[in-house]
Amino acid sequence: MNDTPRSVVIKGTGSYTPANIKTNNDLASTVDTSDEWIFTRTGIKERRIASEKETASDMGASAAQRALEAAKLEASDIDLVIVATITPDMPFPSTACLVQTKLGITNAVCMDIEAACSGFVYIMEVAASMIRSGRYQHALIIGTEKLSSILDWEDRTTCVLFGDGAGAAILGPLETPGVGLLDFTLGSDGAQGDVLYMPGGGSANPATADSLNDRLHFLKMRGREVFKLAVKVMEQAAQEILEQNGLEPDQLSCLIPHQANLRIIELLSSRLNVPMERFYLNLEKYGNTSAASIPIALDEAIRSGRMASGDYTLLVAFGAGLTWGAALLKTP
Ligand code: ACO
């Protein structure tokens, strides 16, 4: 447990999801799948799809605007912007710099961090540490994804799982010790990088006519392996952070897991022996939105009153890399 007097707390959250809904039945009209197959294997019913012109930075800026309003802060109060995304508007400049300009934030350090679906938990720890150092006051952290732009819409094993959206939080200091973002545990295992990746578009396979023909610019996944690894590392991260803080799973009022697959979350629930009712779930509506998944769920959980004063909340994620992480929160 971090015992420095300067707590770092969530000052406000916001989220944004595109209006366009793609249902399982819509997908069944383009690939060989069915609502029944998708729902029973994943718990997903529908997902949001951004318009052609809408970018990760547009969605991130919309979520961030709502977070600023909730925090009752102005763009001029923000001195740090960190974005987690695997679908940046472009390789550079960073999506954080693009969001900065869209929101009129003039005096901030801006950067992107890439840890796939674990990205939001990663940037939360980075931002919290920078605020705790005393050098930064208010961080805007954003998970935003336009996964529809890297999905192979002819591959039924992947295109049914993902969706678009963004979530944001403003973090800031509080001189009351022992509340807010209490602790983190993060992990990575690059040896598992080939279970989930996108081969094209970087320096290994720059865009060429061949790379397009070979469909290298789409997400590739070995679903069964990802499933097993996900259950293992999410349980490990959750147990580790609880142990580090002398807490039992039963003391958690709310768990916000990465919203990838209901069956993964059900296994986590039984392994931790925490009932499913304590888990905040929205994957039925949005599918897996990668780095946006946890902050969208966090925003909905806070706005629906799921995190009362004194409650312990656990955020727990896994993603490509392989990466994983957990954050322990105590509502002030
Ligand atoms: N519709 C119908 N049939 C399908 C579909 C589909 N959409 N997709 C696959 N199938 C078929 C397969 O071809 C296979 O057919 P076969 O037996 O004739 O070969 C059969 O269904 C079973 O396929 P499996 O892959 O074994 O199905 P499984 O029960 O493992 O479910 C799933 C697949 C849903 C992908 C599951 O493995 C999973 O959720 N894995 C985790 C994925 C995940 O969470 N990824 C996100 C990672 S986070 C990030 O960083 C982006």
Q: What is the pLDDT of residue 4?
A: 52
The mean per-residue pLDDT over the stretch 158-162 comes to 98
CB-CB neighbours of 111 under 10 Å: 14
At 61-91, the pLDDT tens digits run 999 999 999 999 999 999 999 999 999 999 9
Structural domains counted in the chain: 2
212 and 271 both lie in a single domain: yes
Half-sphere exposure of residue 275: CA atoms within 13 angstroms, side-chain side:
3
At 28-52, the pLDDT tens digits run 999 999 999 999 999 999 999 999 9
The reply to whether 60 falls in a domain is: yes
Contact 10, 170 (CB under 8 A): yes
At 239-280, the pLDDT tens digits run 999 999 999 999 999 999 999 999 999 999 999 999 999 999
The mean pLDDT value of the chain amounts to: 97
Distance CA(259)–CA(274), nearest Å, equals 17
Residue nearest to atom 10 of ligand 1 (CA): 157
Ligand 1 close to Cβ of residue 230 (< 6 A)? yes
The mean per-residue pLDDT over the stretch 86-104 comes to 98
Residue nearest to atom 1 of ligand 1 (CA): 33
52 and 148 both lie in a single domain: yes
Distance CA(224)–CA(111), nearest Å, equals 33
In which domain, by residue range, is 287 found? 181-330
Q: What is the pLDDT of residue 1?
A: 47
- Active-site residue flag, 288: yes
- pLDDT band at residue 5 using 50, 70 and 90 as cut-offs: low
- Active-site residue flag, 117: yes
Q: What is the pLDDT of residue 2?
A: 47
118 and 137 both lie in a single domain: yes
The mean per-residue pLDDT over the stretch 233-238 comes to 98
Q: What is the pLDDT of residue 6?
A: 80
256 and 286 both lie in a single domain: yes
The domain boundary, picked from 118, 141, 176, lies at 176
